[in-house]
Structure 1
Amino acid sequence: MTHNISRFGGKIALVTGGSSGMGLATARRLLAEGAQVVITGRDKARLDAAVDALRGGDRVLAVQADAARSADLDALTAAVRDRHGRLDVVFANAGVASFRPNAEISEDEFARVVDINFKGVFFTVQKALPLLSVHAAIVINASWTLHRGLPGASLYAATKAAVHNLARSLAAELGPRGIRVNSVSPGYIETPMFHDNVSPDAHTAVLAEVASRRLGTAEDVADAVAFLASAEASYVNGQDLIIDGGLVAAISREMI
Structure 2
Amino acid sequence: MERPGFRGKVVLVLGASGGIGAALVHRLLASGAQVIAAARSPERLAMLAREVEESAQLLTCPVDVRDPQQVADLLSQVWERTGRIDLAIYCAGIEYLGPLKTIGSAELEEMMATNFYGLFFLLQQLLPLMEQQREKGTIVSVSSPMARLAFPWASAYAASKAAGDALLTGLRRECRRSGVRLLTIYPGPTATGAGQQLPPERLPRWHEHGQKMEAGRCAELLLRAVAAGQTQRALTRSLRLLFLLERWLPSLSERICAGMPV
What is the alpha-carbon distance in structure 2 between the residues aligned to residue 176 and residue 43 of structure 1?
37
User: Could you say if the C-alpha distance between residues 221 and 150 of structure 1 is closer, same or farther in structure 2, counting changes exceeding 3 Å?
Assistant: same
Asked whether the equivalents of residues 89 and 136 of structure 1 are also in contact (C-alpha less than 8 Å), the reply is yes
Amino acid at match of 1:153: A
Amino acid at match of 2:63: A
Aligned counterpart, 2:147: 146
- Counterpart secondary structure, 2:86: strand
* Number of equivalent positions: 239
User: Could you say if the C-alpha distance between residues 228 and 169 of structure 1 is closer, same or farther in structure 2, counting changes exceeding 3 Å?
Assistant: farther
User: Could you say if the C-alpha distance between residues 206 and 119 of structure 1 is closer, same or farther in structure 2, counting changes exceeding 3 Å?
Assistant: closer
User: Could you say if the C-alpha distance between residues 84 and 198 of structure 1 is closer, same or farther in structure 2, counting changes exceeding 3 Å?
Assistant: farther
- Counterpart secondary structure, 1:165: helix
The superposition leaves residues 66-108 of structure 1 with CA deviations (integer Å, 9 ceiling, x where unpaired) of 1101121121111101211110001011111111221232333
What is the alpha-carbon distance in structure 1 between the residues aligned to residue 198 and residue 35 of structure 2?
29
The superposition leaves residues 83-139 of structure 1 with CA deviations (integer Å, 9 ceiling, x where unpaired) of 111100010111111112212323332222111110011111222223323331111
What is the alpha-carbon distance in structure 2 between the residues aligned to residue 13 and residue 248 of structure 1?
27
Aligned counterpart, 2:179: 178
Aligned counterpart, 1:227: 224
Amino acid at match of 1:98: Y
Aligned counterpart, 1:160: 161
What is the alpha-carbon distance in structure 2 between the residues aligned to residue 198 and residue 23 of structure 1?
25
User: Could you say if the C-alpha distance between residues 179 and 100 of structure 1 is closer, same or farther in structure 2, counting changes exceeding 3 Å?
Assistant: same
2:38 pairs with 1:40: yes
Alpha-carbon deviation of 1:229? 3.0
Relative to structure 2, which stretch is displaced further, 16-25 or 26-35? Answer: 26-35
User: Could you say if the C-alpha distance between residues 205 and 145 of structure 1 is closer, same or farther in structure 2, counting changes exceeding 3 Å?
Assistant: closer
Relative to structure 2, which stretch is displaced further, 26-35 or 83-92? Answer: 26-35
What TM-score comes out, normalization by structure 1 length?
A: 0.84
CA-based RMSD of the aligned residues comes to 2.5
User: Could you say if the C-alpha distance between residues 38 and 111 of structure 1 is closer, same or farther in structure 2, counting changes exceeding 3 Å?
Assistant: same
What is the alpha-carbon distance in structure 2 between the residues aligned to residue 79 and residue 130 of structure 1?
16
Amino acid at match of 1:155: A
- Counterpart secondary structure, 1:3: coil
Alpha-carbon deviation of 1:46? 0.5
User: Could you say if the C-alpha distance between residues 9 and 160 of structure 1 is closer, same or farther in structure 2, counting changes exceeding 3 Å?
Assistant: same
Alpha-carbon deviation of 1:162? 1.2
Asked whether the equivalents of residues 22 and 222 of structure 1 are also in contact (C-alpha less than 8 Å), the reply is yes
- 1:94 is matched with which residue: 92, 95, 98? 92
- Counterpart secondary structure, 2:32: coil
Q: How does 1:1-256 map to 2 (within 5 A)?
A: 2-4=1-3, 6-55=4-53, 57-132=55-130, 133=133, 134-193=135-194, 195-196=196-197, 214-230=211-227, 233-234=228-229, 236-237=230-231, 239=232, 241-244=233-236, 246-247=238-239, 249=241
Moved over 4 A (4+): 194-199, 202-208
What is the alpha-carbon distance in structure 2 between the residues aligned to residue 203 and residue 26 of structure 1?
28
What TM-score comes out, normalization by structure 2 length?
A: 0.82
Asked whether the equivalents of residues 216 and 245 of structure 1 are also in contact (C-alpha less than 8 Å), the reply is no
Relative to structure 2, which stretch is displaced further, 148-157 or 126-135? Answer: 126-135
Alpha-carbon deviation of 1:206? 5.3
What is the alpha-carbon distance in structure 1 between the residues aligned to residue 108 and residue 67 of structure 2?
16
Amino acid at match of 2:2: H
What is the alpha-carbon distance in structure 1 between the residues aligned to residue 204 and residue 214 of structure 2?
15
Residue segments in structure 1 that go unaligned for 5+ positions in a row: none
What is the alpha-carbon distance in structure 2 between the residues aligned to residue 195 and residue 242 of structure 1?
24
Alpha-carbon deviation of 1:56? 5.6
Amino acid at match of 2:235: I
Asked whether the equivalents of residues 144 and 244 of structure 1 are also in contact (C-alpha less than 8 Å), the reply is no
